[in-house]
Every structure is written in C-alpha cells, then in structure tokens.
Chains A and B, each alone.
Chain A
Amino acid sequence: MTRALYQSDAGEAAGPGPASALQTGASQPKAADPARTRPAPLADGKVVLESVEIARALTRVAHEILERTNGASDVVLLGIPTRGVPLARRLAARLSQVEGRPTPAGSLDATMYRDDLRLRPARALGHTEVPASGIDGKIVVLVDDVLYSGRTVRAALDALSDIGRPRAVQLAVLVDRGHRELPIRADYVGKNLPTSQREVVQVLLAETDGRDAVLLGAAAGR
C-alpha cells in the first residue's frame, strides 16, 4: 500500500511486482515503463470524463494559461511522460490557434530524480526533449495527467533546475485527485476529482491508448 502512495497515476499503481528492471525488461516496449503505457484496464472503472469533456477542459486550461501569462508569449510547455506529453502538445496547439504563433512544447522525464527509485525495480527512462528555444527566462508550464502525491512534480522541478533557470514554473494537470504528500499545488486544473486512496484514476488518451477518457475505479487486486 505504501508503494501505491508514491504513485501519481493509476497506470503506475498497476505496475509490476518487485523484480529487477533487467528481468522485467523482457516485457517492455521501447523506452517505456509498460505500466505507464499499457495500464491494466479498469474493468469496473466508471467514466468520469468523456472525450468531449476532456477537450472542453483543455480548452479552458489553455485560455487560463493565456490570461495568466499575458498571451503566453514566453511560455514553454513541458509534458511529463507518458501522458503529460500528448497533453502538452494539445495545449500548445490550442495556444497557437488562439494567439496565431507557435508555442514551444516538449517533454521532461523526471525518473532519475524520483525519491521512490529504491522502492521499485529500476525503470526505463522516458524521453526528455526541451524545445530549441530553451527554458532560461521563460515561463515553463509543466503538464501531467494526474496530480496525486505531488512527488512526480517535485522530481520534475529538480530535473528542470538542472536544465536551466525559467522565470517562473507553473503546473497544469488534467485531473487533481487530492492526497498530496508535499506542498505542491496545480495552477491549472482540468477537473478536481475527490477520490479515496483505494481508488485508481486512469487517464486514457488517443495518442497512447486509442481513445480519450478518464476512469475511476477500485484498485484491482489490492
């Protein structure tokens, strides 16, 4: 159970049992934690956000970013793998559409900065891709699918400070499910979802899972 507390989304909570990374490597796709890309399906999961609602939430978040950053001229969106990355791209597309100029978007993998590395087998790294414009002096908006303990975001902040010095860092999440373990909050929230810690929140995105949906269900087998 303590293990689950460190996890930010349902996909991770459904992760493999303890075995060395090199052992579990056998079932892993290229450069990705299988639990993150192919979460165990939530059989009894209740759909809390439909595709249309996700789109609406992202559009609202995009407009909030524009308002809070004066037109997003200095904004760089960095998605946290796996599902933060397509979300960052979708937000960037919406910002570009409204303002008529491209908004840089990339990805930031914080695996090597996590505080729970020793609790689990070494895992495959996600991809980090910082836009060519860099992040120095920019407003970096970190984007993730689910905000839970806050530990992933803490790791991402550390990773960010090794890459450069942004003018400000903000956080956008699709779902805030509560149960923070660190003093971290989101600046932009798609949907506040009160949950119990026994529940699992799973975000599905067309880019990674074939369809858009946010599911809420009981943790399988726990």
Chain B
Amino acid sequence: MNRHLISAADLSRDEALLILDTAEELAQMADRPIRKLPTLRGRTVVNLFYEDSTRTRISFEAAAKRLSADVINFSAKGSSVAKGESLKDTALTLEAMGADAVVIRHPASGAPHRLAGWVRGSVVNAGDGTHEHPTQALLDAFTMRRRLGRVDGLHVAIVGDVLHSRVARSNVLLLRTLGAEVTLVAPPTLLPVAVSSWPCEVSYDLSGTLPKADVVMMLRVQAERMNAAYFPTVREYSRRYGLDAARLALLPDHGIVMHPGPMNRGIEIAAEVADSPRSTIVEQVANGVSVRMAVLYLLLGGANSAADDGAGQEAAAAAEPAEVTR
C-alpha cells in the first residue's frame, strides 16, 4: 500500500480493518453537536469528477470538510476539459495549485492509476470506468459489519450487471480479503469474460442463491454503458434477476439488502424491498461519509504524506528497508 487508494486489491486485511475501525470511531461524531475535527486543517482536497455523481462527490466533500480540509470541486462540465484539456494537463494544473489529495472519478478504467504517476499528492479512486470503486467496497463492508457484526465468514450475493460494475469488482476483492464468500449472480451476458479467475462463485439462479446468503447486494443496470443488447427485455431481466418481495422472503431472517445507488426501482429492486427495514441503502450513504473520512485521515493525516514534501518522502524511503527487516 502506498499513499494512494486506487484498487481494493491494494489493501491487506489489516489495512482494510484499520480503515473500518477508524471509520467506526469517526462515525460516533455524527451524534455530536460539533461535527468537525481540526485534523486536516490547511490541506486541500480536489474532487476531480469527469462523470456525473451525486452521492460519491457529496460524500467525499462532506468527509473532507468534517476533517477541516479545503475542498475544491472540479467537474468536467463547464471547465477547461470541455475545451479539450488532457487529463495530464489538468492534473499538473491541480498540482500547481497545491492539491494534497485528488479524488478522481473518470469514465476510463485506469485513469486514477495514470494520475498517480503525475501528481505528488495522494490519489483516491472514486470510480474509474468499469474497473474499481474501492471506497464503495469499504463502506459496504463497513455497513455489513455494523448490521451483522462481522464480515469474516459472511456469504454475500452480488446480483445484476457485474460486467459494467466497478462496485462489484472492488467488493469481490475486498470481501475476499476480509474473509467473506462472494457469489456473483447475473445473466451470462453481464459477466466479465475473465470472471472464472475472480476469487468468487458464479451462479445464474438468484432464487437458488438467496436462501444461503447473509447479504444480497443489488447492482444497478447501467444502461448508459450498454452499447449492445445484453438481455431481451427489461421485464425479463427484472423477472429473473430483480429482487421483489417474494424473493426477499427467501433470504434468511437476518439477511440484509444492499444497493450502491442510484436505484432503478422496478428493474433490479422493487420499491417495497428498497424501502423495507432490511434494506441498508440509506445507511450506506451515511456510512460512506465515515469511511471516506477514515481514508482521507489515514492517507493525509500523518507524516510522509504529500504535503510534507521532501522530508516526508525521505522518511518514507528510509522506512522501507526497516519494513523488510521487521
């Protein structure tokens, strides 16, 4: 793990648990009269969003502000990107403005990885194409742990448009790291080609998977990324892979329903299921702020983050041999 958070696969089990434990402490703050900590005072976090987003951008903004960081929001619409500026030039501009962290969402898979090579600050992946969305996976794991008390040993079914879902990929990687068993449920057309190499099971039968699942995570049908016919009709998809009240009854009594949002009510999830007490959808949003605070604190709060310039980097370099001998 370096000073960036680009993939859920970068996190070891202990690192992931440290983030979740930190988020747990920070979540307490939501009940306090003053919901602000001075920890990142004087640091700048840039939200660089090349794709539309409501909850993720607001969540990162709220997280940074609660830690007293300065937040600059940058969306591709109405900016120099519309005039054709490249990602690299935009990155160098942000660098020159002194960004300590860049939270990036980009339609191209791998954009945060490239960005990490161009800027000195920390890069946090807030969703890149169909690749990864690690903070979503962290907040999902956090929500599971809060509701069910643990992640280790849970059986999680991730259902729907896995092919276009960065949430599914990050969740499979992180949940595996944390000791959960994941089953992907989707029509064969909506599974990635290499899914057999993922550390999870695959099923085409939702009703058969639900009775042994502790968590069922519904994915949004990403019509905007679908450039071909992946299923015959929306109605057929909804019949076979949608979660309605009858299917919800198959889930064990303690089972919970998750959705990363935004939902297509009536397609992958029925309105009555989304609004049921077993649904954690609103909790997931609240937990997102705590988890993102934890990530920003752990990346920016201590020594050898970007803002400490040369001294920090030298310290990091000096620490590496020690790590090996330990």
Taking Cβ atoms with an 8 Å cutoff, the residues of A that contact B are 17-23, 25-28, 30-31, 109, 112-113, 117-128, 158, 162-164
Contact = CB atoms under 8 A, between A and B. Distances in A.
Given A28-B14, A121-B304, A163-B32, A21 B319 contact: no
A18 B25 contact: no
B21 A117 contact: no
B297 interface: yes
Contacts of B1: 20, 22-23
B12 A25 contact: yes
Contacts of B300: 122
Interface in B289-317: 297-305, 307-308, 315-316
B113 interface: no
Nearest to B12: A26
A117 B301 contact: yes
B323 interface: yes
A118 B37 contact: no
Contacts of B244: none
Given A118-B305, A125-B22, 4 more contacts: A22-B298, A122-B300, A124-B21, A162-B34
A127 B300 CA distance: 21
A128 B28 contact: yes
B225 interface: no
B24 interface: yes
Interface size band for B:
35 or more
B316 A20 contact: yes
Q: Is the interface of B mostly helix, strand, loop or mixed?
A: helix
A-B interface, 9 closest residue pairs, ranked by CB to CB distance from nearest: A122-B302, A18-B315, A19-B319, A122-B301, A25-B18, A31-B21, A125-B25, A121-B302, A162-B34
B38 interface: yes
B302 A117 contact: yes
B301 A17 contact: no
Interface string B4-19: 0000000110110110
A192 B86 CA distance: 64
A18 B316 contact: yes
Contacts of B3: 20
B22 A124 contact: yes
Q: Which one of A23, A30, A119, A126 has the highest number of Cβ atoms from chain B below 10 Å of its Cβ?
A: A23
Contact of A31 (B25, B316, B319): B25
Nearest to A125: B25
Contacts of A164: 33
B26 interface: yes
A18 B301 CA distance: 13
Contacts of A112: 37-39, 67, 297, 301
B318 interface: yes
B246 interface: no
A127 B25 contact: yes
Contacts of B38: 112-113, 158
A122 B32 CA distance: 23
A26 B297 contact: no
